[in-house]
Amino acid sequence: MKPISMLDMLKATRLTTAGKLTQATALLRESIMDSAQHTAAVPTAPSRAADTRCPEPVIDMVPPPQMPGGAQDFLGRLCGRGWPGALAKRTRGDAPSAVPPRAQFEEHVYVDAHGQRAYKLYVPSGYDGQPRPLIVMLHGCTQSPDDFATGTKMNLLAEEQKLLVAYPAQSQLANASKCWNWFNVADQQRDGGEPALIAGITRQIMHDRSVDPERVYVAGLSAGGAAAAIMGMTYPDLYAAIGVHSGLTCGAASDVQSALQAMRQGEAAGIAKRRSSPARAVPTIVFHGDQDKTVNPRNGNQVIAQFSGLAAPLQSDIIRGSAAGGLAYTRAVQFDSDGKPVFEHWVIHGAGHAWSGGSKSGSYTEPRGPDASREMLRFFMEHVQG
């Protein structure tokens, strides 16, 4: 059940637009409290997420310097006066995505001992029950599965290539801005917190649908990109390869303060030495805009370093080019002895904090860049589990 009814959301939006922030805040707080009471008997995420006095700290997609009032106002948004505004924020692509005839974009809910999360599953019209690859897509802050599907155009590619695509939805009870809680230590562990829920969704789909177990992949944007890195680190036996767009390493932060530092500057010196390595060198493709003011582009380098640490010596190459939309890019590729790319790092010149090559109908997209979705799928299809 959604934490706030659509009617209350619309009322709060109208009140906010009219400048009646106090009334809007009171309405949203009351709606959340009513929802929490109604769902008390339903398995939920850890109780800390249901504390309506102060929701889990939020790492917004908008960097502190760009917010009214600067960093001080940003900290106020973390807990207190600013957070209902984040709840009322909507994105351009929230309307249900168009689905071709005979294709399906199904709504599901996954529940286990760690809590529950809704998710959507795209099943292409050409799905015939034969084992197909599965891509798990983790949205960024303030986004929804529909918005992320629209912005990345991943469903269109899934229809073209006959893939299954899953979009787990972060709950506003877990994070007021629907960010995956990549900066919480409890959500960076195998068999616990959000990684357990995302892995559970993946396995449920593998059980319910015909999925090729050797071709299961995970990708994400921003907070979702950081969550994808966490999934690659904690479940290397489940995901054959990962895609991280404008994200951070697993373990880049352990609280709000270190998260802000990692977003601004990259992970702190010494973290790389203390963090654990993945059980195997998980093939990884990274995209990052060199003008990203929300997540420092240095984080892209660190993601590649984290997952390539266990790899045998690889050949490398630098490829430069320009997308049809006009933005130039630099693509650093590390190949194995067979010439297969194992790690790719795309730097999009002139791009900010947005999905490269995405649709302008979605939020946080840069249509002028190379098609990150198509390139990720190309990269993924070259790798199988094991």
Domain ranges in the chain are 104-380
User: Helices (DSSP H) in 90-177: which residue ranges?
Assistant: 145-152, 154-161
Distance CA 85, CA 376 (A): 34
pLDDT digits (tens, 9 = 90+) for 142-191: 999 999 999 999 999 999 999 999 999 999 999 999 999 999 999 999 99
Exposure string for 255-289, b = 16+ CB within 10 A, e = fewer? ebebbbebbbebbeeebbeebeebeebbbbbbbbb
Q: Are 158 and 165 in contact (CB under 8 A)?
A: yes
pTM of the model: 0.79
Within 10 angstroms of residue 51's Cβ, the number of other Cβ atoms is 11
Residue in 318, 320, 323 with CA at minimum distance from that of residue 356: 323
Q: Which residue matches tokens 């640490």? A: 309
Q: CA–CA distance from 114 to each of 117, 154, 194, 285, 336 (Å)?
A: 10, 28, 8, 29, 38
Q: What is the pLDDT of residue 314?
A: 87
Q: What is the pLDDT of residue 9?
A: 53
Distance CA 193, CA 182 (A): 10
| Token pair listed for 79 | 């807990």
- The CATH number assigned to the domain with range 104-380 reads 3.40.50.1820
Q: Are 228 and 278 in contact (CB under 8 A)?
A: no
Q: Are 170 and 178 in contact (CB under 8 A)?
A: yes
Distance CA 359, CA 372 (A): 11
Residue in 263, 238, 239, 235 with CA at minimum distance from that of residue 249: 263
Contacts of 57 (CB under 8 A, 6+ apart): 78, 79, 183, 256
Q: What is the pLDDT of residue 25?
A: 55
Exposure string for 183-201, b = 16+ CB within 10 A, e = fewer? bbeebbebebbbbbbbbbb
- pLDDT tens string, the chain, 386 residues long: the values are 344 454 555 555 555 555 555 555 555 555 544 443 333 332 333 333 333 333 344 444 443 344 444 433 333 333 333 333 332 334 455 666 678 889 999 999 999 999 999 999 999 998 999 999 999 999 999 999 999 999 999 999 999 999 999 999 999 999 999 999 999 999 999 999 999 999 999 999 999 999 999 999 999 999 999 999 999 999 999 999 999 999 999 999 999 999 999 999 998 876 665 556 667 789 999 999 999 999 999 999 999 999 987 667 789 999 999 999 999 999 999 999 889 999 999 999 999 999 999 999 999 999 999 999 999 999 999 999 97
Single-letter residue type at 197: L
| Token pair listed for 59 | 């790492």
Q: What is the pLDDT of residue 54?
A: 35
